[in-house]
Amino acid sequence: MTKPLNVGMIGYGFMGRAHSNAYCQVNHFFDVPFRPVLKAACARNVEKLKAFAETWGYESIETDWRKLVERRDIDLVDICVPNNLHAEIALAAAQAGKMILCEKPLAMNAAEGQKMVEAVEKAGVANMVWYNYRRVPAVSLAKRLIDEGRLGRIFHYRAQFLQDWTINPEVPQGGTALWRLDVHAAGSGVTGDLLAHCIDTAMWLNGPITQVCAMTETFVKQRQHALTGKIEPVGIDDACAFLARYANGSLGVFESTRYARGHKALYTFEINGEHASLAWNLHDLHRLAYFDHRDEGKLRGWRSIHVTDHGGEHPYMDKWWVPGLQIGYEHTFIHQLADFLTALGKGELAEPTFRTALQTQKVCDAVLESARTRQWVEVAY
Ligand code: SOE
């Protein structure tokens, strides 16, 4: 028997849709102890909100997030609004005793994130941040292989997240669709938006990052602001590259930009260990590349593992179609939600919690500080 879990969704953009889809699908594929009920959706634009609520089947709407957070019939608040609103909403939701799922990055900066962690821990409410790429089956398989010790000592971890959608200087900043370009709404540019994903995966797979040395650039220095209509300075980082040292002695190289013409959302990582290496990329997300030096010499080479097998060998895949048939981006959110609901049933928290996501936030802060000061920076955990 599944128990109903009443969801209050705040925001209806890209992530509002991705998460709503997960709530609708999870019980069709996963045997979890709770059944999400789409109780209420919340946003300021009533017309768009009504259309969103109708499309996904939300039972009611609210135009003030404070009302939604206080509603007695809401168990879980899902924060899918720009980063500058995460902390305020999370603090109020925690005080109201709601479970909280928050879109990444956790906050505008680590100081805000710290308050959010304290609030959910004091209130004792379940919490999680939507770093969805951990739940790509090929990435989860990479985690298993590393934890089994197959790579041996790890020497290198390199990751990139490349896009090209802001090259045109006529693209405005701010407003509903383009808040990611407005530093007051986003906190940072590619560091918080894209490298945060890379850092979350990196520390999950390879442990804590202890020191960073970064450079950032803002290629287009001013853009029209969609809300004021004025030409305003651009405060975000358009591109960021950084070197990192890990607690386990390995070296990291990270790069992200929205100016890599030809790349739309190319997230890649490669890990080189003493015995074996692993590589993955989001454009071919169901494949994991694996090289094992211990293979017989004449057969040695990079294997391309199609991560679609059943029998528990390939994470999550036994819940989907038949072996050989792949799944996609939206499934990562369904997997993360399934893990959250399973953990909730056991009275546990699913990763990444607010506390774990705060570590990523601290690395982001250190990266931005290093770029500003042109110095190596120790991550202040
Ligand atoms: C930005 O374009 C973006 O949508 C990020 O905000 C997401 O987190 C990332 O997964 C894809 O790119």
Residue 319: per-residue pLDDT? 97
Domain of residue 267, residue span: 134-327+357-373
80, 102, 132 — which closes off a domain?
132
| Ligand 1 close to Cβ of residue 265 (< 6 A) | yes
Which tokens belong to 87?
């902390």
ω into residue 105 within 30 of 0, thus cis? yes
Nearest Cα to 159, choosing from 258, 281, 275?
281
The 3-state DSSP class for residue 256 equals strand
The helix (H) or strand (E) run that includes residue 161 is strand 154-162
Residue whose token pair is 């893990």: 339
Residue 1: per-residue pLDDT? 85
- At residue 160, φ and ψ (nearest 5 deg) are -140, 150
Yes or no: say if 104 and 133 are a contact pair by the CB < 8 Å rule. Answer: no
CA of 165, closest atom in ligand 1: 2
| Ligand 1 close to Cβ of residue 238 (< 6 A) | no
pLDDT in tens, the chain (381 residues): 899 999 999 999 999 999 999 999 999 999 999 999 999 999 999 999 999 999 999 999 999 999 999 999 999 999 999 999 999 999 999 999 999 999 999 999 999 999 999 999 999 999 999 999 999 999 999 999 999 999 999 999 999 999 999 999 999 999 988 999 999 999 999 999 999 999 999 999 999 999 999 999 999 999 999 999 999 999 999 999 999 999 999 999 999 999 999 999 999 999 999 999 999 999 999 999 999 999 999 999 999 999 999 888 999 999 999 999 999 999 999 999 999 999 999 999 999 999 999 999 999 999 999 999 999 999 998
Judgement on whether residues 128 and 207 belong to the same structural domain of the protein: no
Q: How many domains is the chain built from?
A: 2
Judgement on whether residues 143 and 48 belong to the same structural domain of the protein: no
Judgement on whether residues 85 and 203 belong to the same structural domain of the protein: no
Nearest Cα to 34, choosing from 312, 335, 337, 315?
337
What gap in Å lies between CA 108 and CA 189, rounded to an integer? 11
The length of the chain is 381
Does 334 fall in a domain?
Answer: no
Which tokens belong to 96?
């109201």
Judgement on whether residues 80 and 206 belong to the same structural domain of the protein: no
Distance 231 CA to ligand 1 centre (A): 25
Residue 233: per-residue pLDDT? 98
Judgement on whether residues 142 and 275 belong to the same structural domain of the protein: yes
Nearest Cα to 96, choosing from 84, 104, 88?
88
Which residue's alpha carbon is at the smallest distance from atom 10 of ligand 1?
A: 194
Longest distance between any two alpha carbons in the chain, whole Å = 66
CA of 104, closest atom in ligand 1: 8
Q: What share of the chain is helix, strand, coil (3-state, %, to 5)?
A: 40, 25, 35
CA of 14, closest atom in ligand 1: 4
What gap in Å lies between CA 116 and CA 136, rounded to an integer? 27
Distance 180 CA to ligand 1 centre (A): 9
What gap in Å lies between CA 53 and CA 58, rounded to an integer? 5
Distance 264 CA to ligand 1 centre (A): 10
Does 310 fall in a domain?
Answer: yes
CB < 8 Å & 24+ apart, contacts of 320-327: 320/29, 326/286, 327/137, 327/286
Residue 278: per-residue pLDDT? 98
Distance 361 CA to ligand 1 centre (A): 16
| Ligand 1 close to Cβ of residue 177 (< 6 A) | no
Does 89 fall in a domain?
Answer: yes
Does 337 fall in a domain?
Answer: no
What gap in Å lies between CA 254 and CA 160, rounded to an integer? 6
Distance 265 CA to ligand 1 centre (A): 8
CA of 132, closest atom in ligand 1: 10
CA of 196, closest atom in ligand 1: 8
Residue 311: per-residue pLDDT? 80
Residue 275: per-residue pLDDT? 98
Distance 194 CA to ligand 1 centre (A): 6
**Cα three-residue angle 327-333-334, rounded to 5 degrees:** 70
Residue whose token pair is 């520390």: 203
- CATH number for the domain that contains residue 362: 3.30.360.10
Which residue's alpha carbon is at the smallest distance from atom 5 of ligand 1?
A: 193
Yes or no: say if 95 and 88 are a contact pair by the CB < 8 Å rule. Answer: no
Residue 312: per-residue pLDDT? 80
Judgement on whether residues 211 and 106 belong to the same structural domain of the protein: no
132, 167, 198 — which closes off a domain?
132
Judgement on whether residues 58 and 96 belong to the same structural domain of the protein: yes
Judgement on whether residues 163 and 231 belong to the same structural domain of the protein: yes
Distance 260 CA to ligand 1 centre (A): 15
CA of 133, closest atom in ligand 1: 10
Distance 282 CA to ligand 1 centre (A): 12
pTM: 0.98
- Tell me which of 194, 256, 263, 264 to substitute to probe ligand 1's pocket, judged by most ligand atoms within 8 Å of the beta carbon: 194
Residue 381: per-residue pLDDT? 84
- Tell me which of 131, 193, 195, 266 to substitute to probe ligand 1's pocket, judged by most ligand atoms within 8 Å of the beta carbon: 193
Distance 294 CA to ligand 1 centre (A): 38
Distance 3 CA to ligand 1 centre (A): 32
| Ligand 1 close to Cβ of residue 193 (< 6 A) | yes
DSSP string, 281-310: EGGGTTEEEEEETTS-GGG-S-EEEE----
